[in-house]
């Protein structure tokens, strides 16, 4: 009888021991699940650009606010230490023209999110301001023969579209045109130039032999660039890259050699998004 009681007590103690170990194990597991982590997020675009000054808001699975940070020049933020099992982020202040999801579930401590650039829908440009780095609105302009040029259609077959703003009585514009035409003839299968005039008569004897289209600015596109750049004069050259992003701006005449250098850069196979506010900026940084 004593042996049976002793055996029962031993079994009871053994069960208690297993239960204690199991509880500790479960407790350890819970503690592991709630381990504090820092999350590093990088925001970039399909153009290869890293986005600074984007607000990244961290939330739990129910949308409850946890933390927020603003991306640095490398497009990166790092959260404070969070113990939540599930972490989501929301992006705020993303520039127009980039598509993104309402929220992203973050599964890794280091994550990269890519935003896609898309031409904005055509609109009245009266209140639009353009600067280097902005995504363009789609637009259509028509030449004297009734031929229409639509930006979105051009970018389907061309690696870049160049906007040149000019007028007939602009001496430097007329000097630049032959240089531009020579550069264009060598690259017109890959690139389009739209010479846009918002000042005077688009057509004259001096421009009859040019091979790129001459277009009257009927939509106020030059004014949108003027408002964004402040100091503005003609000629002015803008490059819209294959992503639909305003990537290059230069005030003043360019030589054939300079234009060829610029155009070939934007048409190169390895091109990733780059932004330049003048030719001197381009030649220094490219």
pLDDT in tens, 63-118: 999 999 999 999 999 999 999 999 999 999 998 999 999 999 999 999 999 999 99
Q: How far is CA 88 from CA 85, 240, 286, in A?
A: 10, 34, 37
Section 226-246 average pLDDT: 92
Section 130-141 average pLDDT: 95
Question: Cα separation of 104 and 127, whole Å?
Answer: 33
Domain ranges of the chain: 40-117, 125-285
Task: Check whether 4 has a pLDDT greater than 90.
Answer: no
Is 220 strand, coil or helix? coil
Over residues 20-67, the pLDDT tens digits come to 444 444 444 444 456 899 999 999 988 888 889 999 999 999 999 999
Question: Cα separation of 26 and 92, whole Å?
Answer: 39
Task: Check whether 11 has a pLDDT greater than 80.
Answer: no
* 150, two tokens: 């639509």
**Highest CATH level, class, for 125-285:** alpha beta
- pLDDT for 10 equals 54
Same CATH fold, 125-285 and 40-117? no
CATH topology of domain 40-117: Immunoglobulin-like (2.60.40)
- pLDDT for 21 equals 43
Name the residue with tokens 């091979």.
211
Question: Cα separation of 25 and 18, whole Å?
Answer: 10
Alpha helices in the chain (DSSP H): 2-33, 151-157, 171-187, 221-229, 256-267, 279-285
Task: Check whether 18 has a pLDDT greater than 60.
Answer: no
* φ/ψ of residue 127, rounded to 5: -110, 15
pTM above 0.95, yes or no: no
């Amino acid at each position: 009888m004593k042996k049976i009681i002793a055996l029962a007590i031993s079994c009871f103690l053994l069960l208690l021991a297993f239960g204690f170990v199991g509880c500790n194990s479960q407790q350890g597991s819970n503690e592991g699940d709630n381990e504090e982590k820092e999350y590093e997020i990088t925001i970039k675009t399909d153009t290869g650009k890293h986005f600074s000054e984007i607000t990244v808001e961290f939330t739990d699975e129910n949308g409850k606010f946890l933390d927020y940070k603003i991306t640095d020049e490398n497009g990166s933020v790092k959260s404070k230490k969070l113990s939540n099992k599930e972490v989501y982020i929301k992006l705020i202040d993303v520039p127009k023209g980039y598509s993104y999801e309402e929220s992203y579930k973050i599964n890794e401590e280091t994550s990269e999110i890519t935003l896609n650039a898309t031409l904005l829908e055509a609109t009245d440009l009266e209140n639009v301001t353009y600067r280097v780095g902005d995504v363009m609105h789609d637009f259509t302009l028509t030449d004297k023969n009734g031929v229409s040029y639509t930006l979105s259609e051009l970018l389907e077959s061309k690696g870049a579209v160049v906007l040149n703003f000019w007028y007939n009585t602009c001496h430097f514009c007329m000097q630049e045109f032959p240089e531009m035409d020579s550069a264009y003839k060598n690259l017109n299968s890959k690139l389009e130039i739209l010479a846009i005039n918002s000042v005077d008569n688009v057509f004259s004897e001096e421009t009859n032999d040019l091979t790129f289209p001459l277009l009257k600015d009927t939509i106020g596109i030059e004014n949108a660039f003027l408002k964004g750049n402040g100091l503005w004069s003609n000629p002015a050259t803008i490059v819209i890259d294959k992503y639909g992003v305003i990537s290059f701006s230069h005030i003043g005449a360019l030589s054939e050699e300079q234009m060829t250098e610029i155009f070939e850069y934007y048409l190169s196979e390895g091109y990733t998004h780059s932004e330049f506010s003048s030719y001197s900026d381009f030649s220094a940084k490219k």
